[in-house]
Structure 1
Amino acid sequence: MGNEFVQFSLTPLLIGVLAAVACALPGNFLILRRQALIGDAISHVVLPGIVVAFLVTGAVAAIPMLLGAAGAALVAVVLIEAIKRLGRIEPGAAMGVTFTTLFAAGVLILEQTDTSAVHLDVEHALMGNLESLIWFRAKGWGSLLDPVALAALPDELGRIAVVCALVVVLTIVFWRWLKISTFDEGFAQALGLPVTAIGLGLVITAAVAAVAAFDAVGSIIVIAMFICPPAAARLVTNRLEHQVMWSVVFAVLSAVLGYVFAGYGPLWFGSQNAVSAAGMIAAVSGVILGLACLFGPHRSRVGVGREEVL
């Protein structure tokens, strides 16, 4: 029994780790650019886009989901500008109204839509279905070389693995551009760097990571991983390279500990009630951020700007 649990749990655990890392990497630059809430915004906006994509195609597939999320993001931008100009209110308020409205619309549509044929409902949208992403054909490490067994791997693993690898590669390739434009936008413009395109690319990368993670882990983890690991890493170091590495460590630690606590935590306390793995992973990331706020060596400088990060 124990061997089967460890064997089966490796797949959802790996998906959780990859999703956490894919969101944490762009989250570092969003936080330093004072755009941390964009991650929250993206996770709210993608829901109605994904729901509409499902209604049009009748299936939960990667490409329609991405196109639906992109369309919802475009609608959100138009609505934000319209509310800001017509209502003459600040951008933050316009963003809050737009994102909460779109998310609520997505939830309402889900409630009124028959999604019994697929794993798509309100609970799935918030918490994902991480616990069910088990590799049933696995019969040991030899399954990694068995084409039949590999064909039974959850599709979510392949999607999030590709997206995580893409995020890592883009971060490495555009590292210098991201660093310069984040810390000194004027200097970046003087160097001839496409500052606007870099910022847009960062948001698009974050959106792609959010959409890829959404189906497996839900919006709770997406929101938490965009903010908690990078923010905790910011309190641990004031060097960008170290911050990014610490954010990855915190993201992986949150995914592993959260998944283990969700599986064994209730048993430790004598309870048989199931605990959401996604919710527990998000909770662990929040605890890590709380500890960093209390004991991080740079916690007293939390109010300083990105100029202090070298």
Structure 2
Amino acid sequence: MSAFYIILTASLFAISCGLLGSFLILRKMAMVGDAISHAVLPGIVIAFLLTGTRDSFEMILGAALLGIFSTFLIEYFHNKARLQTDAAIGVTFTWLFALGVILISVFAGQVDLDQECVLYGEIAYVPIDLWITDSGAIMGPRALYIAALTLVVNVLFLRIGFKQLYLTTFDPSFAATVGISVSLWNYLLMGAVSMTTVSAFDSVGAILVVALLVAPPATAYLLTEKFSHMLIITCIIAVVISIAGYFLAVWLDGSIAGAIVTVAGILFAITYLFAPNTGLITKRLASA
């Protein structure tokens, strides 16, 4: 049963990350996910310092606000300071991440909110981190409920705002012409990425969640040219890498989160080489 809880939790988080990551990939903003996953760290710490609790809602709120703030800074440095996008991302996430590490070491060093916990997580603890009600009833792993709620929120967000996100992703000029605020939907998307990142950091870690934002949708992107198919393939890949990653970790007696990302990388490499239409080796064989 422990294996089932771990795989299910990993799959739910991977699907959440993959769905949002599909938009980031097509917007050529994949590294913004990396920036946000690091930049939310001071938001997590500030939320803890203000509330004195590690409850997920407060941390999600703090992370979402810092995620939107980091997006604003990236846009500001790019448009006003005329920095290249990659330079604006690098400046923003490095100093915000460093600020978060300093805040942890200075103000939160005596509590279970350390750099290792935030950065790497430990999904193997999911089956023993239980949600127990006031009456003493055991409801199951707490992380599983968080993962399910995160996925539901993301699916509702994408369902409600799909048209706006689709237009601002593929044709932002047309979207602005018909009255859709490109900046607003960009900030909403970044807020969703922030929420997902901090929801997953206990189980997956803020660094490893970056791979889940990028690898499954990037692999799906190489397999299809239709966006709806890309979303479906991304979800399938998310489940496959969660299952295969878990059993790889058991076989190697290593990190489950690390094994999941390793499988994701291997799957991407295989797809890059052998995808039916875009694979490097496939194209060479076809032209031979």
TM-score (norm 2): 0.85
The CA deviation string for residues 60-80 of structure 1, in whole angstroms up to 9 with x for no partner, is 111221232134335535654
Structure 2 stretches lacking a partner, 5+ long: 281-288
Distance 2:78 2:169 in 1: 26
Map 1:1-310; keep pairs closer than 5 Å. Answer: 7-73=1-67, 75-77=69-71, 79-80=73-74, 89-115=83-109, 117-118=111-112, 120-135=113-128, 151-266=138-253, 275-299=254-278
Distance 1:81 1:165 in 2: 29
Q: 2:284 maps to which residue?
A: none
1:278 Cα deviation from its structure 2 partner: 1.2
Structure 2 CA distance for partners of 1:168 and 1:230, relative to 1, 3 Å:
same
Distance 1:48 1:236 in 2: 37
Structure 2 CA distance for partners of 1:92 and 1:265, relative to 1, 3 Å:
same
8 Å contact from structure 1 (residues 221, 281) kept in 2: no
SS state at 1:218 partner: coil
More displaced 10-residue stretch of structure 1: 59-68 or 172-181: 172-181
8 Å contact from structure 2 (residues 7, 246) kept in 1: yes
TM-score (norm 1): 0.79
Distance 1:185 1:121 in 2: 40
Distance 2:5 2:192 in 1: 24
Structure 1 stretches lacking a partner, 5+ long: 1-6, 139-146, 267-274, 302-310
Structure 2 CA distance for partners of 1:88 and 1:28, relative to 1, 3 Å:
closer
The CA deviation string for residues 37-92 of structure 1, in whole angstroms up to 9 with x for no partner, is 11111101111211222233332111221232134335535654675688653332
SS state at 1:219 partner: coil
CA RMSD of aligned residues (A): 2.8
Q: 1:144 maps to which residue?
A: none
Structure 2 CA distance for partners of 1:12 and 1:150, relative to 1, 3 Å:
farther
The CA deviation string for residues 105-133 of structure 1, in whole angstroms up to 9 with x for no partner, is 32333344555543x32221122121111
Q: Sequence identity of aligned pairs in percent?
A: 35
Structure 2 CA distance for partners of 1:248 and 1:122, relative to 1, 3 Å:
same
Distance 2:79 2:151 in 1: 37
8 Å contact from structure 2 (residues 38, 207) kept in 1: no
8 Å contact from structure 2 (residues 64, 192) kept in 1: no
8 Å contact from structure 2 (residues 18, 235) kept in 1: yes
Structure 2 CA distance for partners of 1:86 and 1:237, relative to 1, 3 Å:
closer
Structure 2 CA distance for partners of 1:31 and 1:298, relative to 1, 3 Å:
farther
Number of paired residues?
Answer: 279
What amino acid is aligned across from residue 129 of structure 1 in structure 2? E
SS state at 2:201 partner: helix
8 Å contact from structure 1 (residues 135, 152) kept in 2: no
Structure 2 CA distance for partners of 1:213 and 1:296, relative to 1, 3 Å:
same
1:150 Cα deviation from its structure 2 partner: 6.0
Structure 2 CA distance for partners of 1:177 and 1:73, relative to 1, 3 Å:
closer
8 Å contact from structure 1 (residues 24, 227) kept in 2: yes
8 Å contact from structure 1 (residues 43, 210) kept in 2: yes
SS state at 2:54 partner: coil
